[in-house]
Amino acid sequence: MARMKFLCDSERCIECNGCVTACKQEHEVPWGVNRRRVVTMNDGVAGAEKSLSVACMHCTDAPCMSVCPVDCFYTTSEGVVLHDKDPCIGCGYCFYACPFGAPQFPQDGAFGMRGKMDKCTFCAGGPEADNSAEEFQKYGRNRLSEGKLPACAEMCSTKALLGGDADEVSNIFRDRVMNRDGKGAGVFGWATAYGKGDAKPSAQEKVTPKVEAKP
Partner 1 sequence: MNRMRLTRWVSCLFVMLTALCGTAHAQTPDGAQQQAQRQQTQPGNNAPVWRDVRGGENPYQTTQVRGRETAVLIQSGGETWRQTRRVFTYYGGWVLAIVPLLIGLFYWRKGAIKLKEKPTGRLMARFTDWQRMIHWTVAITFCVLALSGLIMLFGKYVLMPVFGRTLFSWLAILCKNLHNFVGPVFALALILMILTFIKDNFLKIYDFKWIAKLGGIVSGEHVPSGRFNAGEKLWFWGGVMFLGIVVSATGFVLDFANFGQGRELMQLANVVHAVSAMMFVAAFFGHAYMGTLGTEGAYQAMRQGVVDETWAKEHHDIWYQEMINSKSSTVAGAQGLVIPTTIKQG
Partner 2 sequence: MKAILIFAGIALGLLVAGCGDRPVATVYKKGEYSGKRDTQPWIGEPFKGDRLAWERAIKARSNGQNEYSRAATK
Which residues are near partner 2 by CB under 8 A? 2, 65-66, 71-72, 74-78, 82, 84, 86-87, 124-131, 142, 144-149, 153-154, 159, 162-165, 168-169, 171-172, 175-176, 179
d(CA 103, CA 68): 12
Residue choice 12, 50, 159, 200 for contact with partner 1 (CB under 8 A): 50
204 part of the interface to partner 1, by CB under 8 A: yes
184 part of the interface to partner 1, by CB under 8 A: no
3-state secondary structure 16-53: CCHHHHHHHHHHCCCCCCCCCEEEEECCCCCCCCEEEE
Q: Is 118 helix (H, G, I), strand (E, B) or coil?
A: strand
Output Rg (C-alpha) for the chain, integer angstroms. Answer: 20
Cβ contact 83:72 at 8 Å: yes
Judged by CB, which is closer to partner 1: 10, or 171? 10
d(CA 20, CA 16): 9
Cβ contact 137:30 at 8 Å: no
Q: How far is the CB of 147 from partner 1 (least distance, A)?
A: 30
- Identify the CA nearest to 58 among candidates 85, 41, 36: 36
Judged by CB, which is closer to partner 2: 79, or 106? 79
Q: How far is the CB of 204 from partner 2 (least distance, A)?
A: 18
114 part of the interface to partner 1, by CB under 8 A: yes
Q: Which does 52 bind (CB under 5 to 8 A by kind): partner 1, partner 2, none?
A: partner 1
185 part of the interface to partner 1, by CB under 8 A: no
Cβ contact 51:64 at 8 Å: no
Q: How far is the CB of 154 from partner 1 (least distance, A)?
A: 21
Q: How far is the CB of 124 from partner 2 (least distance, A)?
A: 7
d(CA 181, CA 125): 39
Length of the chain: 215
Tell me which residues touch partner 1 (CB under 8 A).
10-11, 15, 17, 20, 32, 34, 37-48, 50, 52, 54, 63, 66-72, 86-93, 95-101, 107, 111-114, 180-181, 189, 191-196, 202, 204-205, 208-209, 211-212, 214
